Amino acid sequence: MKAIDEIYDPTDPATIADPYPALARLRAEAPVAWSGRLKAWLLTRYDDCLAAQRDRRFSAERMAAYFQGLDPARRKQLQRSEGALGRWAVFLDPPAHTRIRSHLNGRFTTAALAAMAPRIERRIDRLLAAAPDGGAMDFVADFAYPLPAGVIMEILGAPLDRLDDFQRWSHDLALFVGSSQTAPDKHLRAEAAVAGLDATFRGLLNDRRRRPAGDLISELAASPGLSDDDLVANCILLLFAGHETTTGLLANGLMRLILHPDQQDLLRREPSRAEAAVEEMLRFDSPAPAVSRVVAEDMEIRGRRIRAGERVFLMLNAANRDPEAFADPERFDIARSQGRQIAFGFGIHFCVGAPLARLEAALAFPRLLAAMQDIGIAADRLDWRDGVSLRGTVSMPIRFRAAGPP
């Protein structure tokens, strides 16, 4: 088993920065691999990741088992996290999942978002206009973070003047939920973050019950069948999922355009390719590289025996470069026409916010490229977040030549 940890070590900075060579080896040599470091199985082939997401024996209820396994004192320390995360749609199986999900379906469809598009465009233009004339910015802090955070806060009805608090809480939650490998105190930081988010959303909920404001919190507050605890927990999920990932899509996507100037030129010349370019960014280097499950009963995959209760990571970023599913998968090609990427998952947990993430990115990239020429990374090395389930850089200093307003 040691050999697997030598091929893929999720704590190794070089692997965190570029996991793809290691993932390719696993996919070819050990497609069902036990990672001693992660204490979990890793599935790296497209077909296996797809099949697992269709298979009810792969349970999404991994949080309940985690908290139940803690010693009583520790469990008490983390009781708010257990209360909130235990109600997140993403960590539930049917029938509890079906009930919560029915309240979220339809909220982020393309039709429901139609009115948001001009507002998102205005946000993009404001952020680009604020970029310093000198042609340098931290793309994460100055664009990729505030755009999706502002959009999801506006949709929910969360006060924008609390953006800094939401950012801190969300970041601390990401260390835990994103399976950070090194963050000290990640559980206690997540607990404090949940406490802050819970109090804020409960306050907003009470306020909207008295004075509905036409935002998502007001709508959810009026929809029967959701307890306050369910509602608050899933608002936290929407806020968290609604921007941590999209930040990564924008930053990882721009990085790919910088590293592949021919593709950047193509998109600049033909902005109508934006939606296809975003699909390729998601396939090539998604910010949600893995989802995890707990196996509900003993099973065998490709001759490996997996026992009930063991954890499995479905390595979506490995699946999305599987040569069995995509021609020439290591090539970043925004004109690619074959293959369906699974960066938003598959099946009953398919990402609720996929249309929103796609819309934000498809609006952002043409405007970015129209506003910036000669874009380059202005750092010798970048710090990558070390989470197994979230991928992105902590910051991304860039330099560029301003090309006038979009």
238 lines the binding site for ligand HEM (CB under 6 A)? yes
User: What DSSP state is assigned to residue 273?
Assistant: G
CA within 13 Å, CB half, 221: 20
Q: In the bound complex, which residue of the shown chain has the CB atom lying closest to ligand HEM?
A: 353
22 lines the binding site for ligand HEM (CB under 6 A)? no
Choose one: 243-251, 255-263, 372-380, 398-406; the region binding ligand HEM (CB under 6 A).
243-251
Of 242, 329, 366, 387, the one binding ligand HEM by CB under 6 A: 242
Q: What are phi and psi of 152, to 5 degrees?
A: -70, -35
For residues 135 and 248, which CB has a smaller minimum distance to ligand HEM in the complex?
248
For residue 338, the one-letter residue type is: Q
CA distance 4 to 205: 48
- Binding string, residues 305-344; x marks residues near ligand HEM by CB under 6 A: --------------------------------------xx
Hey, is 12 helix, strand or coil?
Answer: coil
Of 260, 268, 349, 367, the one binding ligand HEM by CB under 6 A: 349
**Which residue from 399, 406, 404, 405 is spatially nearest to 254, judged by alpha carbons?**
399
For residues 127 and 149, which CB has a smaller minimum distance to ligand HEM in the complex?
149
Dihedral sign, Cα of residue 330, residue 332, residue 336, residue 341: positive
**Which residue from 366, 374, 365 is spatially nearest to 258, judged by alpha carbons?**
374
Of 237, 312, 368, 390, the one binding ligand HEM by CB under 6 A: 237
For residues 52 and 78, which CB has a smaller minimum distance to ligand HEM in the complex?
52
Q: Are the C-beta atoms of 157 and 259 separated by less than 8 Å?
A: no
How many residues touch ligand HEM under the rule CB under 6 A: the total is: 27
User: What DSSP state is assigned to residue 211?
Assistant: S
Subset of 70-109 contacting ligand HEM (CB under 6 A): 89-90, 101, 104, 108
Minimal distance, residue 380 CB to ligand HEM, in Å: 27
Q: What is the largest CA-CA distance in the chain?
A: 60
Q: Are the C-beta atoms of 314 and 291 separated by less than 8 Å?
A: yes
357 lines the binding site for ligand HEM (CB under 6 A)? yes
CA distance 378 to 381: 9
CA within 13 Å, CB half, 219: 12
Residue 326: CB partners within 8 Å, gap ≥ 6?
283, 320, 336, 338, 339
Minimal distance, residue 338 CB to ligand HEM, in Å: 21
Structure tokens at 51: 């099949």
CA distance 323 to 318: 10
Structure tokens at 56: 């009810």
Choose one: 138-146, 196-204, 244-252, 394-402; the region binding ligand HEM (CB under 6 A).
244-252
Minimal distance, residue 300 CB to ligand HEM, in Å: 22
10 lines the binding site for ligand HEM (CB under 6 A)? no
Choose one: 24-32, 130-138, 167-175, 351-359; the region binding ligand HEM (CB under 6 A).
351-359
345 lines the binding site for ligand HEM (CB under 6 A)? yes
Subset of 252-311 contacting ligand HEM (CB under 6 A): 286-288, 291
CA distance 142 to 127: 7
For residues 44 and 246, which CB has a smaller minimum distance to ligand HEM in the complex?
246
Choose one: 1-9, 174-182, 236-244, 323-331; the region binding ligand HEM (CB under 6 A).
236-244
135 lines the binding site for ligand HEM (CB under 6 A)? no
31 lines the binding site for ligand HEM (CB under 6 A)? no
> DSSP letters along 294-359, please?
EESS-EEETTEEE-TT-EEEE-HHHHTT-TTTSSSTTS--TT--S----TT--GGG--TTHHHHHH
Choose one: 74-82, 239-247, 303-311, 395-403; the region binding ligand HEM (CB under 6 A).
239-247
Of 137, 352, 388, 390, the one binding ligand HEM by CB under 6 A: 352
Residues forming contacts to ligand HEM in the complex (CB under 6 A) are 60, 89-90, 101, 104, 108, 152, 237-238, 241-242, 245-246, 249, 286-288, 291, 343-345, 349, 351-353, 356-357
